[in-house]
Structure 1
Amino acid sequence: MQDTATQSDPRPTHSRVMLKISGEALMGDQGFGLHPPTVERIAREVKSVHDLGVEICMVIGGGNIFRGLQGSAQGMERTTADYMGMLATVMNALAMQGALETLGLHTRVISAIPMDQVCEPYIRRRAVRHLEKKRVVIFAAGTGNPYFTTDTAATLRASEMSCEAIFKGTKVDGVYDKDPMKHDDAVRYDSITYDEVLQKHLKVMDASAIALARENQLPIIVFSLDEPGGFRSILRGEGTSTRVEG
């Protein structure tokens, strides 16, 4: 008997990808913390792509729990605030690991800050091996250094893992010339260059992450994570997104 699912589904456009999402994406409609139904929904999105045979690694921000820059702005010493933000990303990674494993996906949380009782330390070859074994790998604690964002961490880890692209899940379906939530006349780009992102100060990723992606010719695909099935659709060459490259 032939596998009709295999016949009907086009091959995914990429075989190994980095999914970058913000900590705020895990809040749902709450103003703070984790919203379990939202975490579970995103986990199902990840599973739908994993089912296509795509190797997936993830970086999740920590802004739903603590953001280093905000702590610093309120008078906290910047380095301490950034380390607190890194710990928040570990909490989010563990929450996502739990949701993914509930769906039957083998998942590893790998932290740039060693904390052996809750997750693995970052060793590149071991992380690559996890991906080869079709495990979802979630990189936590940023780069392990203050003054670097999780955008930069995602770009760094994607480069180290030889990912073919970074998929940035947001609340909108791509990159716009202005905030589409505030401006009805905002125009979406189908594609845009790294240099244009920097020159126009578009809020795709921070400048360090964009520069690192440009140096390694690593495409960034921005899409809506709020759209049901959006992640899978983009990996099948469908749906709406913006591609940053060149």
Structure 2
Amino acid sequence: MENIKYHRILLKLSGEALAGPQQFGIDPHRALHIAERVREVRELGVDVAIVIGAGNLWRGREGLELGMDRATADYMGMLATVMNALALMDSLESLGVVTRVQSAVEMRSVAEPYIRRRAIRHLEKGRVVIFGGGTGNPYFSTDTAAALRAMEIGADVLIKATKVDGVYDSDPKKNPNAVKFDHLTYIDTLNRQLKVMDSTAISLCMENQLPILVLDLFDESALRGALVGQSVGTLVTAS
């Protein structure tokens, strides 16, 4: 039996992780690929909770540029996260992974309301829990929702799953000389304005000493490797 470094994780996914080649909408093949990675983690005995963004369905920034009210744009994004959560739940359950979706915006016909103790109980029973609806409040990102939920469920680490293998000092797709960081402190991340997560999420993790691990979701060995203690991605901690 492998030694597990993290026994309960909060996995933060961007909405774009579900998008297909058109970079928009929900691609069932992408959803199934992510579900396969999550199933591997569950088979290790790790508790898995997930927060997913909405960028594949709705970008509130574009609405704001056209004069939309900020709160309205944010609520639309919350609804889109629930759509993504349901799509991912369907893929997970097609693989035999029992999953529950909880929404901070109440919609009982499609998801449970978010109740902290119920979420923890689901995790204790080996179910994957997907948190939709962000924090339930406008002006807060899904990054902040991920940090908040991670704290509430007692996660050992917040894993930010991206399309790159860690945090770089500049965009590695544009700069071939970009330098990858193996480790950062919360303060370094904030001072350098590295786009790991938004500043509210990082500050919340810093105040509560919750490590953030940034890795490549589409590297089939990265997530499992991180959980068994391999050096993967970029780790953000207090020191």
Normalized against structure 2, the TM-score is what? 0.98
Structure-2 separation of matches of 1:87 and 1:146: 12
Q: Unpaired segments of 5 or more residues in structure 1? A: 1-5
1:2-17 to 2 correspondences below 5 Å: 6=1, 10-17=2-9
Deviates most, 55-64 or 20-29: 20-29
Moved over 6 A (4+): none
Aligned ranges 1:56-205 → 2 under 5 Å? 56-205=48-197
- Deviation per CA, 1:109-135: give whole Å up to 9, x if none: 000011000000011111110000010
Secondary structure, counterpart of 1:86 in structure 2: helix
Amino acid at match of 1:123: I
Q: TM-score, normalised by structure 1?
A: 0.95
Distance 1:170 1:69 in 2: 20
| Match runs of 1:231-246 below 5 Å | 231-238=223-230, 240-246=232-238
2:209 maps to what in 1? Answer: 217
1:239 CA displacement: 5.2
Look up the SS of the partner of 2:84 in the other structure: helix
Equivalent residue for 1:39?
Answer: 31
Q: Which of the numbers 28, 32, 36 marks the counterpart of 2:20?
A: 28
Q: Percent identity?
A: 55
For residue 222 of structure 2, what is the aligned residue in structure 1?
Answer: 230
List alignment gaps of at least 5 residues for structure 2. none
Aligned partners of 1:166, 1:195: CA distance in 2, in Å?
17
What's the offset of the Cα at 1:232?
1.1
Of residues 18, 40, 48, the one that matches 1:48 is 40
- 3-state SS of the aligned residue for 2:210? coil
Distance in 2, matches of 1:72 and 1:19, equals 28
Q: Deviations over 1:12-54 (max 9, x none)?
A: 2110000001000111322210111111000000000100000
- Residue 229 of structure 1 and its aligned partner are, at CA, apart by 2.9
1:68–1:83 Cα contact (<8 Å) kept = no
- Give deviations 1:206-236, integer Å, cap 9, x for gaps: 0000000000100000000111232112111
Residues of 1 paired with 2:199 and 2:65: CA distance?
A: 20
Matched residue pairs, number?
A: 238
Q: Amino acid of the residue matched to residue 105 of structure 1?
A: V
Give distance in 1, aligned partners of 2:231 and 2:17. Answer: 20
